[in-house]
Structure 1
Amino acid sequence: MRVGIIGSGSMGHAHARAWRALGVDFGIYSRDAPRAAQLAAEHGGDTYPDLGTLLADVTLADVCLPTFLHRETVEAAARAGRHVVCEKPLALSNEDAAAMVAACEAAGVRLFVAMVVRFFPQYRFARDLVQAGRIGTPRVLRLRRVSSPPYGGHSWFADETKSGGMILDLMLHDIDYALWTAGDVQQVYARETRVGTRHYAQAALTHVSGALSLIESGWAYPDGLFRTAIDLAGSSGLIEWNSDAAPTIRIVHGKQRHATPGVSLPVISAAADPFVLQFNHVLDALQREVPFDVTPGEALGALRVALAVRDSARSGRAVTLEAAT
C-alpha cells in the first residue's frame, strides 16, 4: 500500500501524521511546492511534481484539498484506477457528489469519505450504546460543535463558493452523526446569525423515525476555542458527554436518574487518535473487501441534508426532503 496525499493544508498534515503512525508509505503532491516539501520533511514522506505522477505511483489517493477541487481530483483518481479517501464534505452540490460516486463505481475503485467524528471514541461509543438499546428508542438528540473561524475567517473556508460555508464544512459532522444514530431525515428547519467573519446556526432535524435532532454549530468563538457536546435522550435513558468534561460518558436511566458508573473512555492519544482509527479501518476494509463504515450513500445523504439546512437558514423556512431513493 502506498498512499498519495493531495494537498498540504491542515488536513494534509493530520492525514500524514495518521498514515505515518500506521507505518504506511506515502507521498505528497500540492500546488504549493514549498508547503509540500515542509510537510514531507515533518512527516517523512516524499513529494511529487504533479498530480499525474502521484496517481501513477500510488494505491490510494487521499484528497485533502479545498472542497471546490474535490470533484475534479476524485474523478482523476478514479480514471487512474486508484482507491480514494476524500475529506468531507464530498462536494458543494448533490449533483457533483453523485457524479463522484458514479465515477468511482464505474472505475471499480473504492471511495471513503472522511467523516472522522464517527471515529472519535466518545461519539462511537455513545452511538453503540444507542444501537444496543441502552436508552430505549431515540427521542431527542442535542449536538453541539462551535469553534473559532478557521484561519481567523480569512481563508478559502470563508468563501462559500469554495467551502460551502460553516454548515457544509462544520455542522455536516453532526448532521452525519444524527443520521447515523437516528436514521433518515424528512424535514429540517434552521436559523443563522452572521457578524463579520463569525457564523452561528441552529438546526432542527425531524427524523422519519419521529426522533428530533437539535444541532448547534458555529465559527463563532474567540481564537483557539473549540467545544463539542452530545446529549442523546431516549424513551428510557440519557447519554451525556461534552468536551470540557472528563472522557467519561454519563448514562442516566429511568425515574431514579442513577448514573451508570465506570463507563469511561481514554483521553485522545496516539493510541486513540480518531484519524489513526479512521485510516486503520480504511486499510482493514480494503484488505478484507468489506464495506466502509462511511458508505458513499451515507456521505451523499449527509450532504443532501446539510444543503437543505443551509437553504432553510437562508430562507427562514422549513425544508421538506423527499424520501431517499
Structure 2
Amino acid sequence: MSTLKVGLIGAGGISRVHADAWRALGAEGFVTSLEGADEIAAEYGFTEVADVDTLIDRVDVVDIVTPSSTHADFALRAIARGRHVVCEKPLAPTAADAAAVARAADAAGVRLFPAHVVRYMGEYRKIKETIDAGRIGTVAVQRFSRAGSAPLTPWFFRESTGGGVVRDLMIHDIDQAMWFAGPVAQVFAVQNPPTVDDRVPAPVTSHVVLTHRSGVISHIHGSWVAAGMPFRTSVEVAGSAGRVRYDSAEDLSLRTDAVAAPGSPDYLPPMSPQESPYYAEIADFVTAIAEGRDALVTPRDGIDAVAVAEAAYASIAAGAPVSLTAEAEEDPR
C-alpha cells in the first residue's frame, strides 16, 4: 500500500495539531501558506510547496486549516481535481456555501470531512453513549458553555468573512447539541456587546437557545474573554431519569447522576482520553476513506452546524426567534 500524501493549506495555530496527527499516522506531508509554511515543514518533516494548486496536484487528501472565509473556495478547488478534503470548522460561512461544497464532493466521488473535533473528545463521546443507552431517560434540557481568551488574528472579529463568536467558538457546542438531541427547529440568540459595523467586540458573550424537533431545549453560552483567562468548557444533559455533566474546571471527571442498576457501582468514568482528539479525528477520516464508511462527522453535520450558526446571527439581528425548515432527504449527508 502506497503512503498517503496529505497537503496542509494553512500554517496557523490549529495547523500544528493536524500536522502532528498526520505525522503520527505515517502520511507524507506537504504544506503551503502565505506565511509560516517553512516552520511547519521544518517542525513536522513536511515539504513546503509554493502555492495551493501545486499542493493539490501532489497529494491524495487536502487538509484546510485557513481562515473560515477561504474554506469553501479551497475545498471546491481540491474537489474539482479529485482530492478528498478535510476542512476545519466551519465548513463555510453560510449553509448554502457548505451545501454547495458537499454536493460537489458527492458529484466528484470524493470524501468531505468537516473537522468538528469535540465529537472525538472522550468526555463528550461518553455523554453521547450515556444518552443513547437510556441511562438518563428521555432528554429534556442541555446546557453548554465555552469560554476563553479572545483570539488575536483580526479576521475572527469580522462576521462578514466567517468570523464571530457564534460561528467560530460556539459552533462546537451547536454541533454537540444536535449530536445529542437531533435537528433544530428554532433558534433564538443574543449577544452582548453587539457587533457594530461588522466588528465583533471583545470581550463578548453570546447565548443561543435551540429548540430541537425532538422537543429538547439546548442553552449554549459562549464568551471571548480577556487575554490570559484560562479556557473553560462545560456540558450538562438532564433527562427524565437523571443527568450527565462535565466541567473542565472542576475535578476533571465526567459524572452521571442516575439510578444505578442493582449491584452497580457509582458511574464515574475517567475524563481524559488516551490520545489526542485531533489524532482520533484524523484517524477516523483516514479509516473512513479506506473502508468506504461514514466518519463520525458527516458533510450533513457540517452543513447543519453552519445553518444553526447562521440562524443565530439572523436572530440576533432581528431580536426574535428564527425557524429552520427540515432538509430534504436527498441533500448531502
CA distance in 1, matches of 2:239, 2:168: 28
Counterpart of 2:160 in structure 1 is 161
**Residue 171 of structure 1, CA deviation:** 0.7
Which of 212, 216, 221 is the matching residue for 1:216?
221
Question: After the TM superposition, which residues 20-39 of structure 1 pair with which residues of structure 2 at under 5 Å, given as runs?
Answer: 20-32=23-35, 35-39=36-40
Report the alpha carbon displacement of residue 232 of structure 1 after superposing the two structures with TM: 0.6
| 1:311 paired residue number | 314
Question: Could you tell me how far apart the structure 1 residues matched to 2:118 and 2:178 are?
Answer: 13
1:87-126 matched pairs, under 5 angstroms: 87-126=88-127
State the SS of the aligned residue for 1:56: helix
Write the deviation string for residues 121-171 of structure 1: whole angstroms up to 9, x where unpaired.
1011111110111101111000111111112xx521112222331101111
Q: Which residue of 2 aligns with 1:227?
A: 232
Matched, 1:6 2:5: no
Does the aligned pair in 2 maintain the 1:251–1:260 contact within 8 Å?
no
Classify 1:157/1:176 alpha carbon distance in 2 versus 1 (closer, same or farther; 3 Å): same
Report how many residues are paired. Answer: 316
Say whether the 8 Å CA contact 1:250–1:260 is kept in structure 2. Answer: no
Question: Which deviates more from structure 2 when the two are superposed, residues 165-174 or residues 220-229?
Answer: 220-229
SS of 2:193's equivalent?
strand
Q: Secondary structure at the match of 1:308?
A: helix
Shift of 1:254: 4.8
In percent, how many aligned pairs have the same letter? 37
Gaps of 5+ in 1: none
**Residue by residue, what CA displacement relative to the aligned partner does 1:276-314 show, whole Å, maximum 9, x if unpaired?**
010111111111110111111111111111111121122
Distance 1:324 1:76 in 2: 26
Normalised by the length of structure 2, the TM-score is 0.91
Q: Which runs of 5+ in 2 are unaligned?
A: 195-200, 329-333
Give the secondary-structure state (helix, strand or coil) at the position aligned to 2:208.
strand
Three-state SS of the structure 1 residue aligned to 2:312 is helix
Name the amino acid aligned to 1:168. R
Find the counterpart in structure 1 of residue 182 from structure 2. Answer: 183
1:150 alignment partner, SS class: coil
For 1:176 and 1:266, locate their aligned partners in 2 and report how far apart those are by CA, in whole Å.
20
Asked if residue 130 in structure 1 is aligned to residue 131 in structure 2, the reply is yes
Separation in 1, partners of 2:192, 2:32: 37
CA contact (8 A) 2:255 2:267 kept: no
TM-score (norm 1): 0.93
1:202-213 alignment runs, 5 A limit: 202-213=207-218
Among 276, 279, 284, the residue aligned to 2:279: 276
Structure-1 separation of matches of 2:252 and 2:281 = 19
Runs of 4+ in 1 over 6 A off after TM superposition: none
Q: Does 1:242 align with 2:247?
A: yes
The CA RMSD measured in Å over matched residues stands at 1.7
Can you list the C-alpha shifts for 1:189-224, whole angstroms capped at 9, x where unaligned?
111102842221111111111111011011124424
Aligned partners of 1:184, 1:52: CA distance in 2, in Å?
37
Contact 2:256 2:267 in 1 (8 A): no
Alignment of 1:40-55 (within 5 A): 40-55=41-56
Structure 1 residue 85: deviation in Å? Answer: 0.2
Shift of 1:46: 1.4
* Alignment-derived partner of residue 331 in structure 2: none
Question: 1 CA distance for matches of 2:270 and 2:28?
Answer: 30
SS at match of 2:58: coil
Contact map agreement 2:155 2:163 (CA 8 A) in 1: no
Structure 2: distance between partners of 1:188 and 1:159: 22
Any conservation in 2 of the 1:266–1:272 contact (CA below 8 Å)?
no
Contact 2:123–2:272, Cα closer than 8 Å, also in 1: no
Tell me which residue corresponds to 2:141.
140
